[in-house]
Amino acid sequence: MSEGDLVHTASEGGITTLTMDDGKVNALSPAMQQAVHAGLDRAEAAGDAVILTGREGRFSAGFDLSLTGDPDAFVDQVRTGFELCERVLAFPNPVVIAATGHAIAGGLFLLLCGDYRLAAEGPFKFTANEVAIGLPIPTAAVEICRQRLSPAAFARAIPIAEVFTVGDVVAAGVVERVVPAGELAEAAHEVAARCAAYDRNAHQIAKQRTRGPALAAIRAAVEAEFPG
């Protein structure tokens, strides 16, 4: 698939909406990552606020496990995935993330990097499942979770791969709100429209001052564990 096939990009009224849709689970493959970056490039150039969302029932199931047969490619995919998370967390314009469904592993980490996060009601799972599937958790993932999850949720999220549902994602700090699936797009647009009116310089300074330590920790972790 081409970038345009993986991420549909639409801009209107100071808002760029990026919809991930690979027809499957929205794996954060290298091609998907590049497509999201391309959409962010477009929004950044236009000075737009961003809505990042997924296909019905799926936000993202995380990194592309089909690459596990090629260790170098898999590791490179994980490294660039965390660089994408870092970019979203530091993005100069407001970023609203609307989780249309499951957010697992890398999908959860990406979700946690939005400025304002919403989730659709439904039987969806939100989890950092690395321990459950026998993979060591990257330190960058730990730092992303640390800066957003409540202390109690953080203590469970990684060591025992807690699976959060829409009934507890707000208390856990995964999202700010859960809304009916049919209202998700409208709710995300309302938040993005409000944020689009913010002074960009003030917005950027606020991000730098509130997220500086987390971003530094994420960057240090990526450089230490994924040299390249």
Band (14; pLDDT cuts 50, 70, 90): very high
% of residues, the chain, pLDDT over 90: 91
The residue among 210, 203, 208, 187 whose CA lies nearest residue 49 is 203
Which helix (H) or strand (E) segment holds residue 102: the answer is: strand 101-104
- DSSP β-bridge partners for residue 9: 18
Using one digit for the tens of pLDDT, what is the confidence trace for 27-50?
999 999 999 999 999 999 999 999
List C-alpha distances in Å: 207 to 197, 200, 201, 202: 16, 11, 10, 9
* Per-residue pLDDT tens over the stretch 155-191: 999 999 999 999 999 999 999 999 999 999 999 999 9
Contact assessment for residue 93 and residue 200, using Cβ atoms and an 8 Å cutoff: yes
pTM value is 0.96
What residues have CB less than 8 Å from 164, skipping those under 6 apart? 125, 126, 127, 153, 157, 172, 174
- Furthest CA-CA distance within the chain: 47
In Å, what is the CA distance from 81 to each residue of 46, 72, 142? Answer: 24, 14, 14
Confidence grade of residue 104 (pLDDT, cut at 50, 70, 90): very high
Tokens of 61: 């199931």
Show the 3-state SS of 32-92: HHHHHHHHHHHHHHHCCEEEEECECEEEECCCCHHHHHCHHHHHHHHHHHHHHHHHHHHCC
* CA dist., res. 212 & res. 100, Å (int): 29
pLDDT in tens, 108-164: 999 999 999 999 999 999 999 999 999 999 999 999 999 999 999 999 999 999 999
| Side chain identity at residue 8, one-letter code | H
Per-residue pLDDT tens over the stretch 192-207:
999 999 999 999 999 9
Domains of the chain: 3-182+196-225 (3.90.226.10)
Instruction: Give the position of tokens 């439904």.
Output: 122
Q: Which two tokens stand for residue 106?
A: 């890398």
pLDDT of residue 223: 95
Phi, psi of 227, deg, nearest 5: -65, 140
pLDDT value for 3: 58
- CA dist 9 and 25 (Å) reads 18
Backbone angles phi, psi at 42, to 5 degrees: -65, -45
Mean pLDDT of 6-12: 97
Give the integer Cα–Cα distance in Å for 117 and 114. 6
